[in-house]
Amino acid sequence: MIVVNKMQNILLIDDDEDLCELLDEYLSSEGFKVTSVHDGETAIARAAEGGWDAVILDVMLPGANGFDVLKRIKPDLGAPVLMLTARGEDTDTVLGLELGADDYVAKPCSPRVLVARLRALLRRRQHEPGAALRVGDLSLDEGSRQVEVGDQTVSLTGAEFNLLRLLVRHAGEVVSRDLLAEEGLGRPLGAYDRRIETHMAQIRRKLGASPDGSPRIQTVRGSGYQYVRRG
């Protein structure tokens, strides 16, 4: 068993009380402190209390569904969200990522897999030392995980930040989809996996175009993506 140095607070949102009890027992044995809620409105209220290191959120909930909950809590949460989706429901996965989820696990899943994904998310969220990275009018602070374009702060999900950081670190170079998935999302791509494309669309939308109107991030067909360095 891997023991974390600090007990991390997990908000578990799922209407299946038996599953919550099972996951609570397993996560607690792995060093996490779990709070379970079973409906959307209660989840929104508990999330607003703050102090969470991560949220595990099921799509199917009574009251407000998982997507409604995600839209309500994500802007002020300050923690990664791991969504639980029905196996084979790609539309749920894509919508969750577009709304700001940081990763997903298809149900039914083993507690061991869930903990592994959760740990990977938390590792990627740890602040890293170092000065801000700057390319043109974009500034990316690895310590505070803050991104600014000009004088405007850009709100990114954890996954979006990790992907953009890789591109900015290698500005002017092509970064492969496989590398983006493994280092930015913490796991390799599967067959017909569109997570990278989904995240890139969101990043582009949030950053907007360069001052001269050209794209900041270019798709290099068959290779990957490049954050364009100008001047």
pLDDT band at residue 107 using 50, 70 and 90 as cut-offs:
confident
pLDDT for residue 130 is more than 80: no
pLDDT for residue 4 is more than 50: no
* 39 close to 12: Cβ distance less than 8 angstroms: no
Task: Please give the full DSSP string across 202-223, using - where no structure is assigned.
Answer: HHHHHH---TTSS-SEEEETTT
- What pLDDT sits at residue 87? 64
Tell me the pTM.
0.61
Structure tokens at 97: 């990522």
Whole-angstrom distance, CA of residue 116 vs CA of residue 166: 22
Structure tokens at 30: 């792995």
The CATH T-level fold of domain 8-125 is: Rossmann fold (3.40.50)
* 67 close to 98: Cβ distance less than 8 angstroms: no
Structure tokens at 19: 């599953």
Residue 36 DSSP SS3: strand
Domain 133-227 indexed as CATH 1.10.10.10:
yes
What residue spans define the domains of the chain? Answer: 8-125, 133-227
